[in-house]
């Protein structure tokens, strides 16, 4: 399969890729793929439990005014990603030398620990510190993408990343509803943090027992580039630079809205007893749309080209996001979030598959860490 859209050159298949067709990882790639799809589901379901309740947890931590809650909600959502942006390339380099499975174990251990500590935080500054520290050790999703991309045949890359994204998206579908229900049923915003922590440790166990990685440690002087040379290559390669910018803008557009969705729902429906559940539904409806569209778009990207699918998703996501700003009805708002979710479902798999085709297998860990 060579069609990946216009202006995308076909890279030479490295020796590792050829090995996938004859023994080696070929015996395990399907097992690894489906194990990682399930693990991504568990991890995302666990972590997305916290998304709708975090703004509601802030008054418990001493943040009282609506303006301060909105500001802190954005800061707390952003600090983890900001710290992770600096740490991820370094972890990508470690993965390049020691394997991606080790990075999954390292990341899940740290995320589970710091999530439990967030639930026990006594004030917003402690919560902020735990979120920042979690960012240092984050990177589970990028390690999962790199592991799957390194184990599957090249002509199944879009298909595999589409299914990996589906596991993540199904998790984002059920997680917010579970988190909202837990908070409303127990009357405590701390309980979902502890449940999330326990679930992440479960995912860590699944990685340990269910994931097989075919990995050969590189020898010194084997020609693999280091973290900073990979970053330089990213900056100086036009195709990768364009993709990096697209991913940056897409993630910015999606994540900018997330911290205020719960507050927006509260503005529309008032301070109802089931507010956390309604906020969870508003998050989960996007995940439902992702689940519907991601496998289809991932499979189509292998056939009609990643670039074409990426352009369709970007255009559709833009058109369906704007009306949300002018909506004051909860159910119309959820319908609009469903619409935008249909396009988001194909965006990241197509972009990640394009990145995977533009770099060698040896370079994917560091590059995925930066994207």
Higher local confidence (pLDDT), 23 or 91: 91
- Neighbour tally for 146: CB within 10 Å: 26
Contacts of 317 (CB under 8 A, 6+ apart): 250, 253, 340, 343, 344, 347
Look at the block and give the residue holding tokens 């809205």.
Answer: 257
Q: Which two tokens stand for residue 165?
A: 């994204």
* Count of other CB atoms within 10 angstroms of residue 295: 18
pLDDT of 190 strictly over 80: yes
> Which has the higher per-residue pLDDT, 139 or 371?
139
User: Residue 137 has which token pair?
Assistant: 């050790």
What lies within 8 Å, CB to CB, of 71 at 6+ separation is: none
In the predicted model, what is the mean pLDDT of residues 100-110? 94
Query: Encoding tokens for residue 164?
Result: 């990996």
Which residues fall within 8 angstroms of residue 270, CB to CB, at 6 or more apart? none
Question: How far is residue 67 from each of residues 19, 59, 78, 118, measured CA to CA in Å?
Answer: 57, 12, 17, 22
pTM of the model: 0.74
Q: Which of 112-121, 297-306, 332-341 has the lowest mean pLDDT?
A: 297-306
DSSP 60: G
- The number of residues making up the chain comes to 371
User: φ, ψ for residue 76 (rounded to 5)?
Assistant: -70, -35
Domains (ranges, CATH) in the chain? 23-214+226-370 (1.20.1250.20)
Region 54-58: mean pLDDT is: 94
Burial 49-85 (b: 16+ CB within 10 A, else e): bbbbbbbbbbeebebeeeeebbebbbebbbbbeebbe
Mean pLDDT of the residues in the chain: 82
What is the mean predicted confidence (pLDDT) over 253-271? 86
- Lowest average pLDDT, out of 28-42, 194-208, 247-261, goes to 247-261
Question: What pLDDT sits at residue 11?
Answer: 38
pLDDT at 56 over 80: yes
What DSSP state is assigned to residue 132? H
Q: How many CB atoms lie within 10 A of CB 193?
A: 26
CB atoms within 10 A of CB 335: 15
* Residue 113 region by backbone torsions, left for phi larger than 0, else alpha for psi between -120 and 50, else beta: alpha
Band of the pLDDT at 204, cuts 50, 70, 90?
very high
Rounded CA-CA distance 119/16 in Å is 44
Residue 370 is predicted with a pLDDT of 62
What's the pLDDT at 119? Answer: 96
Q: What is the phi/psi pair of residue 320, to 5°?
A: -90, -15
d(CA 245, CA 234): 11
Q: Could you give the angle at the alpha carbon of 44 between the alpha carbons of 39 and 49, nearest 5°?
A: 135
Q: What token pair was written down for 353?
A: 């598959």
Distance between first and last Cα of the chain: 25
Mean pLDDT of all residues in 245-264: 81
Which has the closest alpha carbon to 252: 308, 194, 180, 318? 318
Distance CA 112, CA 117 (A): 9
- Among the residue ranges 114-128, 278-292, 343-357, the one predicted with the least confidence is 343-357
Q: Work out the angle at residue 343's Cα, subtended by the Cα atoms of residues 275 and 245, and round it to the nearest 5 degrees.
A: 105
**Lowest-confidence pick of 91-95, 101-105, 224-228, 268-272:** 224-228
């Amino acid at each position: 399969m060579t069609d990946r859209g216009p202006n995308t050159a076909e890279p030479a298949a490295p020796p590792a890729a050829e090995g996938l067709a004859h023994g080696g990882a070929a015996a395990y790639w399907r097992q690894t793929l489906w194990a990682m799809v399930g693990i991504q589901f568990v991890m995302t379901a666990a972590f997305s439990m916290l998304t709708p309740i975090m703004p509601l947890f802030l008054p418990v931590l001493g943040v009282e005014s609506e303006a301060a809650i909105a500001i802190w909600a954005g800061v707390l959502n952003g600090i983890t990603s900001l710290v992770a942006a600096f740490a991820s390339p370094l972890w990508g380099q470690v993965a390049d030398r020691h394997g991606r499975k080790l990075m999954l174990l390292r990341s899940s251990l740290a995320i589970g620990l710091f999530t439990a500590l967030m639930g026990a935080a006594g004030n917003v500054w402690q919560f902020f510190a735990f979120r920042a520290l979690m960012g240092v050790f984050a990177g589970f999703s990028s390690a999962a993408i790199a592991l799957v991309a390194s184990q599957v045949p090249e002509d199944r890359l879009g298909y595999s990343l589409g299914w990996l994204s589906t596991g993540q998206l199904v998790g984002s579908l059920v997680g917010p509803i579970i988190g909202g229900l837990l908070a409303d049923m127990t009357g405590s915003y701390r309980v979902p943090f502890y449940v999330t922590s326990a679930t992440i440790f479960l995912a860590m166990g699944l990685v340990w027992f269910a994931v097989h990685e075919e990995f050969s440690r590189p020898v010194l002087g084997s020609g693999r580039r280091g973290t900073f040379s990979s970053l330089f290559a990213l900056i100086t390669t036009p195709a990768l630079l364009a993709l990096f910018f697209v991913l940056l803008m897409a993630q910015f557009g999606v994540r900018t809205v997330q911290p205020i969705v719960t507050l927006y729902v509260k503005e529309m429906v008032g301070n109802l007893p089931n507010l956390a559940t309604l906020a969870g539904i508003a998050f989960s409806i996007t995940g439902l749309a992702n689940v519907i569209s991601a496998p289809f778009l991932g499979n189509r990207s292998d056939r009609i080209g990643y670039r074409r699918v990426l352009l369709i998703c970007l255009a559709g996501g833009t058109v369906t996001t704007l009306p949300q700003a002018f909506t004051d009805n909860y159910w119309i708002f959820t319908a609009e979030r469903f619409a935008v979710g249909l396009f988001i479902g194909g965006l990241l798999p197509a972009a990640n598959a394009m990145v995977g085709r533009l770099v060698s297998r040896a370079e994917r860990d560091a590059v995925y860490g930066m994207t």
